[in-house]
């Protein structure tokens, strides 16, 4: 009789384990669906809602180690936040740099590259203390671009 009780207990434990495994699969985060929601919200012109959704995606992506989704979410969030704030780059770039440094190491590499490009682009646009570029700045930028192409 004792062995019969162990068999029932083993089957019950296997059933519980199978249900937990199945529940884990059903409860897995659907990144495809989440990105479609982001696209729909963006099409409706709702940058704050997009920002909230990509924060959720970012949390889930980091938890699951899905670094491409995490990077995409971070960059979409940055873009959306620019749409509903009136800060100039010299105001938001330091905070953006700090938020990049706070990310997990695999994500930092991609975001630091984006940050470097952002600094470069803004230094071309606003060379003198954040002021809007002048015609002379635009001509200088064209010269720099030609030099960059020549050295590439």
Output the CA–CA distances (angstroms, integers) from residue 17 to 7, 13, 26, 104, in the order listed: 15, 6, 14, 32
Domain spans of the chain?
88-152
What pLDDT, on the 0 to 100 scale, is given for residue 43?
A: 95
pLDDT (0 to 100) of residue 102: 86
How deeply is 51 buried, as exposed, middle or buried, from its count of CB atoms within 10 A (0-12, 13-18, 19+)? buried
pLDDT of residue 116: 85
Residue 112: C-alpha distances to residues 6, 46, 55, 88 (Å)? 57, 27, 19, 20
State residue 93's pLDDT score: 73
**Average pLDDT over every residue of 5-22:** 57
Angstrom distances, CA of residue 59 to CA of 29, 42, 62, 70, 102: 11, 20, 5, 8, 13
Average pLDDT on 67-80 reads 90
User: What percent of the chain lies above the pLDDT cut of 90?
Assistant: 28
The pTM assigned to this predicted structure is 0.59
Residues 6+ apart with CB under 8 A from 78: 96
Average pLDDT, whole number, for the chain? 76
Is the model's pLDDT at 67 over the cut of 70?
yes
**What pLDDT digit, counting tens, does each position of 83-95 carry?**
767 666 666 777 7
Count other C-beta atoms under 10 Å from residue 52's C-beta.
14
pLDDT at 81: 77
**What is the signed CA dihedral for 43, 44, 46, 52, rounded to 10 degrees?**
-70
Among 119, 63, 64, which residue's Cα sits nearest to residue 94?
119
**DSSP annotation of 28:** S
Q: Which 8-state DSSP code applies to residue 103?
A: S
């Amino acid at each position: 009789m004792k062995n019969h009780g162990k068999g029932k207990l083993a089957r019950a434990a296997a059933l519980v384990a199978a249900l937990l495994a199945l529940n884990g699969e059903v409860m897995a985060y659907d990144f495809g669906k989440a990105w479609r929601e982001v696209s729909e919200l963006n099409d409706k012109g709702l940058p704050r809602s997009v920002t909230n959704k990509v924060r959720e995606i970012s949390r889930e992506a980091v938890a699951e180690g899905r670094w491409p989704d995490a990077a995409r979410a971070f960059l979409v969030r940055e873009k959306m936040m620019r749409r509903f704030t009136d800060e100039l780059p010299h105001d938001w770039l330091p905070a953006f740099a700090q938020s990049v440094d706070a990310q997990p190491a695999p994500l930092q590499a991609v975001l630091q590259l984006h940050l470097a490009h952002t600094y470069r682009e803004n230094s071309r646009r606003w060379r003198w203390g954040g002021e809007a570029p002048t015609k002379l700045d635009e001509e200088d930028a064209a010269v720099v671009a030609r030099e960059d192409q020549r050295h590439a």
